[in-house]
Amino acid sequence: MNAGGANGIGPNLNGIAGDKVAEGRGGFAFSDDLKAKGGTWDAATLDAWLKAPKAFAAGTKMTFAGLADQQERANVIAYLNSQGGKLTLPAAGAAVAEPAKK
């Protein structure tokens, strides 16, 4: 997950926090369902994705089942943000807001 690193099974996640959903990432081939989501990987969107990727975008190629524990998801989001992310996150221990319904 280094800046400018190659994609692998998934896209390079450096700088993903605060970036556009399913765009860029060195030409990674995102699923059509994930591309259709649009928007930005803000904290609430990352939380929804990490909780249940298949519920977030049914046609995702991601085989990861998700993280049920909210604190674990918050920790992953904080880590992703520390790797070139652009988010202003809530204080440690604060709950992540649910994403807005579309």
For residue 5, what pLDDT is reported?
87
Q: What is the pLDDT of residues 14-30, one digit of tens each?
A: 999 999 999 989 889 99
Q: What is the pLDDT of residues 52-100, one digit of tens each?
A: 999 999 999 888 999 999 999 999 999 999 999 999 987 665 555 555 5
Residue-range domain boundaries for the chain: 1-96
Task: Copy the structure tokens of residue 2.
Answer: 């280094």
Which CATH class, in words, describes the domain spanning 1-96? mainly alpha
Pick left, alpha or beta for residue 25 (phi over 0 → left; psi -120 to 50 → alpha; otherwise beta): left
Is the alpha carbon torsion for 63, 60, 12, 17 positive or negative? Answer: negative
